[in-house]
Structure 1
């Protein structure tokens, strides 16, 4: 899977390669743009092979998704896992603070249907508060999720 931010960056690159603005990149367009971008001549055969390597629908043209698969490496499992952990962390953290406090933990647990008191939340935080500052930062959250 390619991350959405990566896809956005390559969208404008796709538009620049799509010389005739038909929403598809041909091997000819690919050759022209690679010559302009790299300053080197790419053979017709190499350009056609590149197109064929990512052409999922067999039309010998690259739509934006096919182009993205060609130029943007997919996220590694670790990158995808870390992104998922960041999304989960964001649900619990105090916005703008970058940490989970006992009160932010208590609020989120209540939303999830688990009524916990502030002291219980402090105890939960304390278990994974590796630096003793009374809150859980993202790195501590990752350790907690791996436990």
Structure 2
């Protein structure tokens, strides 16, 4: 449950314990993803079970768990392609290695910059949950 609370806290800019469409849009923009306010509102409304127009922790958990069940296998396979053997995360080095395999030559500093954009808990690597959120849009 702590990982879901960290995710909620990352999106919840006014610290009210809920994610508004504006907060969702703002957070997505901070990681380089464009999300219109209308799309953010549609996403929130599709998950909002109590009709208040905001996402609470329980609703966020439900959304992430439902997505995990349906997409988990495919996402796990993609995530493993970018990870290092034996590690359950994507590092700058593993990202650089995978991008090189795909024909995109980048240096490790560029990879660190990419990881920083999506590293929600600030540990310097991309966890599967961060990868899942990144891939949602």
Decide which structure has the larger Cα Rg and report it.
Answer: 1
User: Normalized against structure 2, the TM-score is what?
Assistant: 0.49
Higher relative contact order (CA 8 A, sep 6+): 2
